[in-house]
Amino acid sequence: MNREISTFGLAPSMVAMLSNAGFRTALDFDGVKPNELSQELEISHEEALKIIQIISRNGAPKNEDRVTALDLLQKEPSRGCVMTFNVDLDELLGDGVQVGQVTEFCGVPGIGKTQLGMQLAADACIPVYYDGLGAKVIYIDTEGSFVAERMQEIAEATVTHIHRIAEESNKPEDVEAANAFTIKEVLSSIQYYRVHDFVEQVALVNILPLLMDQQPGVRLIVMDSVAFHFRHFDDFQSRSRLLNTMAQNLTNIARDRSVAVVLINQMTTAYQNGEPYLVAALGENWSHAATNRVLLSWEDGYRCASLQKSPNRPFGTVRYNVTQAGIR
């Protein structure tokens, strides 16, 4: 369990000093040596050593936090997934975006990243009766790219699709289940948060468990985009620490609360032997943050999605379209 440092019995002044330096949870001390902490806080080596010993001793996982491989295996089938409305993309991901995991979609501007985020938000609300999650969604907008009218358009197309399936089946129980699925139901199930800087972004991630306790039923969290407020950061060490903590918190939420976490990321230019090429933003360390990574790109005039990282799916590339109805 990733405990807050305020729960370790340290002096309030020391907690404040550590917090100001970016050490807010036990995970932030991972790999930190006493001499490094001593220099960072301008304290003695003995004080730094004592702090690290307290954190490492009391921050170790408890027996109740441990599970067996069998526990994990038995839990997997019940987690579920969020469909994308593109059959090939769903198959590439393993029936859709996996619940219990963090999935990152990276791509250049105009490739449809936000469209995909909104499509997933609508699809997560599809009733369980129709192989959906019947869920609520938390949508975190860092760029101001979320357009309510576009979300309504995608929601309307999603609802129409389910109603059409019900009508074609001509079964009363199918129609009854579909009638409860409305545009208003979809839109009211999506909780929208606009964050304006990295402080708000990190703070919102920190209180996500509280928000989810207050609003039960959240099975999807979308962050669009994760990199926007971290592009221009003077203190690289602090940026890395904040990103690592945020990534760990999101991973814990995905795993412990059976939530699909979707991170939208931008691309940036890197150089190799003087030649420019595009890579996902936030650097090499960040590439380990997500369970799955999908690169969205243009190939021969077509939008393509390439699975580049997954613990259990073969890599591959499929095509997708952005239509008036959403992702198809």
- Kind and range of the H or E run holding 294: strand 292-299
Burial 223-233 (b: 16+ CB within 10 A, else e): bbbbbbbbeee
Look up the pTM and report it: 0.78
pLDDT string in tens for the chain (328-residue length):
567 887 777 877 888 888 888 888 888 888 788 888 888 888 988 888 888 888 877 654 445 456 677 765 665 545 689 999 999 999 999 999 999 999 999 999 999 999 999 999 999 999 999 999 999 999 999 999 999 999 999 999 999 999 999 999 988 899 998 999 999 999 999 999 999 999 999 999 999 999 999 999 999 999 999 999 998 888 888 888 899 999 999 999 999 999 999 999 999 888 888 888 888 999 888 888 999 999 999 999 999 999 999 999 999 999 999 999 999 9
Q: How many whole angstroms separate alpha carbon 166 and alpha carbon 89?
A: 24
Q: Is the separation of the CB atoms in 224 and 114 below 8 Å?
A: yes
Q: What is the CATH number of domain 5-64?
A: 1.10.150
Q: What is the CATH number of domain 72-327?
A: 3.40.50.300
User: Any idea where the domains of the chain sit in the sequence?
Assistant: 5-64, 72-327
| Residues in contact with 244: Cβ distance below 8 Å, sequence separation at least 6, in sequence order | 27, 28, 285, 289
Instruction: Looking at the chain, list the stretches that DSSP marks H as alpha helix, in order from N- to C-terminal side.
Output: 12-20, 34-41, 45-58, 69-75, 87-93, 113-123, 148-169, 172-179, 183-188, 198-206, 208-214, 236-256, 283-286
Two tokens at 214? 């207050």
